[in-house]
Amino acid sequence: MLIGITTKHGLKDPHHFVKKSVAFLRKHKVHVDVCPNTCRLVPNQKPGLDFHKPYDVIVVFGGDGSLLRVVQHMRNFDSAVLSINMGRLGFFSDGVGKEYQHLLKRLIGNDYLLESRMLLRCTVLRGKRRAFTQRALNEVTIARVALARMITLKTTVDDAAAATYVADGLVIASPTGSTGYSLSTGGPIVSPLLDSVILTPISPHSFTQKPIVLPPSSRVKVQMATSENRVYVTMDGQTGFHLHENDIVKIKRSSKRIKLVRMASTSYFQTLREKLHWGMDLNGR
């Protein structure tokens, strides 16, 4: 079995869960590669994690941002990903650091399920040149920076005119990302077991511009129809690219998918209640 381990940048691990996890896996004859950032937590460990390699599982110690950062680096999507929460929300996580031994035992014993999630593919065209391309698990966000003016985004879906958004920006989300930034800007919650594309404007100038859920095959194209020069397209809040006037941002479902390790038997609704307090009344029921 081949397992990769990566950690949140600057992770504080006072209980040495990462070090103990590496020792536990090696004790059970598992080959372990760790990322350079993780070596400081595991004495005498040389970096070896390669995102081009097909790992059985990549274990991420951190929060949701750590997993989203891993997606940005992944090049071989045959590798499944297990998130062990060492942060705050842990929406993607199936356990916390102190449960490392229980989680790794199940991993070694193949006692887990894999959940396939769609990814988004974003490409920026500048003239006829492809200036930027990257995948996202949660969302692609086109937005102005602080103190900038509202921006105008001409948007088409499958080459048909959809809307011209005059707003602070636009979130193009996957169902997985529907509980992230899209939700905070007024978008709907969509089950991650569906494939779809969600358009949610950020603080639109017009009350008529509401979120919309599109089929998974939709090809979204957004043109920067403004001279405002402080606008960025951002992948999962991790990777950004500075947009120019008349740049075209193309978003579609990626041909790649990510496999998330699932060990808990909790339903999606239970996760929503526990992590977001969704659907609960004022008495917390």
**How high is the pLDDT of residue 264?**
72
Q: What residues are labeled active site?
A: 64
Q: State the DSSP string of 71-101.
A: HHH---TTSEEEEEE-SS--TT-S-BGGGHH
Average pLDDT over every residue of 7-31? 92
According to DSSP, residue 158 is labeled T
Structure confidence by residue, pLDDT tens digits, 225-265? 987 778 999 999 999 999 999 999 999 999 999 999 998 76
**What's the Cα-to-Cα distance from 31 to each of 3, 17, 139, rounded to whole Å?**
6, 18, 33
| Rounded-to-integer distance, Cα 22 and Cα 277, Å | 34
pLDDT at 147 over 70: no
- The per-residue pLDDT for 6 is 95
Mean per-residue pLDDT over the chain, rounded: 91
* 175 band by pLDDT with thresholds 50, 70 and 90: very high
What band does 189 get if pLDDT is binned at 50, 70 and 90? very high
* β-strand pairing of 220-224 with 248-262: antiparallel
pTM above 0.85, yes or no: yes
Q: Is the pLDDT of residue 145 over 90?
A: no
What is the reported pLDDT for 279?
77
> How large is the average pLDDT for residues 29-39?
93
Read off the pLDDT of residues 53-109 as tens digits, 9 standing for 90 and up. 999 999 999 989 999 999 999 999 999 999 998 877 678 888 888 989 999 999 999
Residue 285: pLDDT band (50, 70, 90) is low
How far is Cα 57 from Cα 9, in angstroms, rounded to an integer?
20
Per-residue confidence (pLDDT) for residue 93, from 0 to 100: 84
Cα gap 249→11, rounded to integer Å: 34
- Give the pLDDT of residue 282: 60
The lowest-confidence range among 107-116, 124-133, 201-210, 265-274 is 265-274
Q: In the predicted model, is pLDDT for residue 11 greater than 80?
A: yes
